[in-house]
Amino acid sequence: MIHRKETAEILSRIARLVAEGGRAALATVVRIEGSAYRRPGAKLLIEESGGTLGSVSGGCLEADVREIAREVMANGRPWLRHYDTGAHEDILMALGLGCNGAVDVFVQPATSGPLAELAPAALERLESGAPLAILTGVQGNDVLGRVALVDERGVEGDLGTGAQMRWIEEARRALDEGRSRLLEEDGRAGFVEALGPPVDLLVIGAGDDAQPLVEYAADVGFRVTVVDHRPALATPVRFPQASRVIEARPDDDGLILPRGPAVVKTHSLAHDREWVRRLLAEGSAYVGLLGPVARKDAILDEIGARGDSRLFGPVGLDLGAEGARQIAVAIVAELLAFTNGRSAVHLSARRESIHVR
């Protein structure tokens, strides 16, 4: 989810740099083994001016990646770099690594060549909300640096290899599974980044306490729609991070709501009840409700849905949160856990990689 948002931001920046005549290189995590801060698909854009956007680690790899990016910008040749953060080689000790994992990072020209040529088309697809796979040749002279886009429209770009059709089928499979992966055969390697559709979040209630919730949720990658019946509150100016702000009531027949998790927080018992009634009837898998347990139970009793496990109330994780911003953190944390199929336990209690589901 966050990769889609980050990729769109980076592609947008690449398009501006191309228009301005600037130069940049793009670093992408293409494989991890063991412990790593970011998953495959994480990106860092390094501009010739020194500016950056994104990240490929918690900070331990970025300095070396910047040096490689300078060389890539100078000679135009992509570079696949392997980091073993559990090793003791002098260069890795000098980088201060020690996460007990291996990371492969691919650095390619961003403002010239295949990526720059396909960036506008890729950005248009991401902004449309459609699933997209980006295939990049990362090893092998005949595929190195080539890029292709794979989606429901077909294929745009050319990998220039006999493996192209097989890789395209793998890209489609990766999209179906929602998992990016490195493809390897006959001395060639290609990275397929699977960018599924954005996850919609519905925030019912446009009070002041909804503003940090919308801000934080949008920042981690949710596509947020805000709904409220009060015209003074349901305005885009109050929610600049939202994709849509709608003035509506729960009984509006013509209202079509996005499918995804929802948080109900109008601070009106009657309105909350009717929104919960409608959302559960429409099949929502997660409906978060602000307020105490007794209020939740009363609403469920009134709509004849006592015990419905799809209603999460009080909404949010038990963080001891107080105030609108802390409560928003607790709610977004629970939304991430639900969306990612996690149980929201302490990471210290896990006995496997934190990225293993």
pLDDT tens column, 159-209: 876 667 889 999 999 999 999 999 998 889 999 999 999 999 999 999 999
- Contact status, residue 56 vs residue 38, Cβ threshold 8 Å: yes
pLDDT at 92: 46
* 183/349: higher pLDDT: 183
pLDDT at 159: 86
Average the pLDDT over each of 80-89, 150-159, 192-201, 334-343 and give the range with the smallest value.
Answer: 80-89
Would the pLDDT of 254 be above 70?
Answer: yes
Q: What percent of the chain has pLDDT over 70?
A: 92
Q: What percent of the chain has pLDDT over 90?
A: 81
Q: Tokens for 223?
A: 């596509």
- Contact status, residue 157 vs residue 146, Cβ threshold 8 Å: yes
Q: 216-228, pLDDT tens digit by residue? A: 999 999 999 999 9
Q: Tokens for 260?
A: 């995804």
Q: How confident is the model at residue 90 (pLDDT cuts 50, 70, 90)?
A: very low
Q: Which of 202, 205, 324 is nearest to 272 (CA)?
A: 205
pLDDT at 226: 98
The span from the CA of 236 to the CA of 61, in Å, is 39
| Unique residue bearing structure tokens 């729960």 | 250
3-state secondary structure the chain: CHHHHHHHHHHHHHHHHHHHCCCEEEEEEEEEEECCCCCCCCEEEEECCCCEEECCCCCCCHHHHHHHHHHHHHHCCCEEEEEECCCCCHHHHHHCCCCCEEEEEEEEECCCCHHHHHHHHHHHHHHHCCCEEEEEEEECCCCCCCEEEEECCEEEECCCCCCHHHHHHHHHHHHHHCCCEEEEECCEEEEEEEECCCCEEEEECCCCCHHHHHHHHHHCCCEEEEEECCCCCCCHHHCCCCCEEEECCCCCCCCCCCCCCEEECCCCHHHHHHHHHHHHHCCCCCEEECCCHHHHHHHHHHCCCCCCCCEECCCCCCCCCCCHHHHHHHHHHHHHHHHCCCCCCCHHHCCCCCCCC
Mean pLDDT of 316-327: 96
The span from the CA of 211 to the CA of 205, in Å, is 10
Would the pLDDT of 356 be above 80?
Answer: no
φ and ψ at residue 200, rounded to 5 degrees: -80, 140
Would the pLDDT of 213 be above 60?
Answer: yes
Average the pLDDT over each of 80-94, 142-156, 198-212, 256-270 and give the range with the smallest value.
Answer: 80-94
Query: CATH for 200-339, among 1.10.3720.10, 3.40.50.720, 3.40.250.10, 3.30.420.40?
Result: 3.40.50.720
Would the pLDDT of 11 be above 50?
Answer: yes
* 93/117: higher pLDDT: 117
Q: How confident is the model at residue 99 (pLDDT cuts 50, 70, 90)?
A: low
Distances (CA, A) of 175 to 181, 259, 289: 10, 19, 32
Full strand arrangement of the beta sheet holding 287-289: 244-247, 223-228, 200-204, 262-264, 287-289, 311-312
Mean pLDDT of 139-158: 92
* 192/100: higher pLDDT: 192
Would the pLDDT of 94 be above 70?
Answer: no
Distances (CA, A) of 304 to 251, 266, 281, 288: 18, 21, 11, 17
Q: How confident is the model at residue 303 (pLDDT cuts 50, 70, 90)?
A: very high
pLDDT at 96: 44
- CATH 3.40.50.720 range(s) for the chain read 200-339
pLDDT at 162: 64
Residue 30: exposure state from Cβ atoms within 10 A (0-12, 13-18, ≥19):
buried
Q: How confident is the model at residue 351 (pLDDT cuts 50, 70, 90)?
A: low
